[in-house]
Amino acid sequence: MKQITRAVALEDVRDLLERVPHAHVAWHDGDRVSAIAVSFRFADEKYWIGVPPDTAPLGGAQAMLLIDEGWYYFDLRGLRVRGRVAPADVPPPGSSAALRWLALLPEKLIAWDYGTMRQKDGT
């Protein structure tokens, strides 16, 4: 049986890292999950998350970053990065000093593009 996939390589959605249409992060906050919209920068091959200064501490937390775009089904594209969050010693270049910047150390990346849906065997 052939399967249909929407999965693509990171390079196929790399433009989302540069222009960042929407970025959100979710993390475990005690016994619940919290999620907020964030500022995002991809600089020096690192994933940087900018959060308001009063956001709960995320240092060392397992987190999930979602960067996506699209309104209609075949316009949906995105990237999900799962990893650990670490405080940033130095903020990324061109970042806002009004935010607290954190580095996301990726453990797993998933990219998708519904506009390129195809059979898994490449046909």
Distance of CA 48 to the CA centre of its chain: 9
Say if 6 falls within a structural domain: no
CATH of the domain at 89: 2.30.110.10
Say if 10 falls within a structural domain: no
Say if 15 falls within a structural domain: no
Task: Find the radius of gyration of the CA atoms of the chain.
Answer: 16
- ∠16-20-24 over CA atoms, to 5°? 110
Cβ-contact 82, 62 below 8 angstroms? yes
Say if 9 falls within a structural domain: no
Tell me what pLDDT residue 92 has.
Answer: 85
Say if 47 falls within a structural domain: yes
The SS3 of residue 9 is coil
Say if 42 falls within a structural domain: yes
Provide the pairing of β-strand 32-37 with 22-29.
antiparallel
Domain range spanning residue 31?
Answer: 21-72+79-110
**How many independent structural domains does the chain possess?**
1
pLDDT averaged over consecutive 10-residue blocks of the chain (123 residues)?
A: 75 89 88 90 91 78 92 91 89 84 93 80 55
Handedness of CA 64, 71, 12, 5 (dihedral sign): positive
